[in-house]
Homo-oligomer: A and B are copies of this chain.
Amino acid sequence: MSGRLAVVGLGPGDVRWLTPEADAALAAADALFGYGPYLDRAPVRDGQTGPRSVTGRAATHPTIAKKRCAPATLSKPRPPDTNATLAPAAAVCEQIESGPATWRGLDLEIVPGITAMLAVAARVGAPLGHDFCALSLSDNLKPWPVIERRLDAAAQAGFVIALYNPISRARPWQLTAALERLRRYLPTTTPIVFGRAVGRADENIAVTTLQAADPVGADMATLVIVGSAETRLVPRPGHAPLVYTPRSASA
Contacts and interface: CB of A to CB of B under 8 A. Distances in A.
A143 interface: yes
5 contacts: A19-B19, A84-B118, A85-B118, A90-B245, A146-B249
Contacts of A242: 93, 96-97, 104, 108
Contacts of A112: 17, 114, 118-119, 121-122
A157 B154 contact: yes
A115 interface: yes
A113 B112 CA distance: 10
Contacts of A67: none
Contacts of A18: 19-20
A83 interface: yes
For this chain, the copies found in one complex come to 2
Contacts of A19: 11, 16-19, 114
A148 to B, nearest CB: 10
Given A17-B19, A251-B143, A97 B157 contact: no
A191 to B, nearest CB: 12
Kindly state the interface size class of chain A when it binds its partner.
35 or more
A16 B24 CA distance: 9
Closest 7 CB pairs of A and B: A90-B129, A133-B133, A93-B244, A153-B157, A89-B126, A16-B21, A141-B248
Interface in A7-24: 9, 11, 14-21, 24
Contacts of A146: 158, 249-251
Given A16-B20, A86-B121, A129 B93 contact: yes
Interface string A44-75: 00000000000000000000000000000000
A246 B132 contact: no
Contacts of A206: none
A169 interface: no
A110 B133 contact: no
B110 A125 contact: yes
A186 interface: no
B142 A94 contact: no
Contacts of A82: 129-131, 247
A114 B122 CA distance: 12
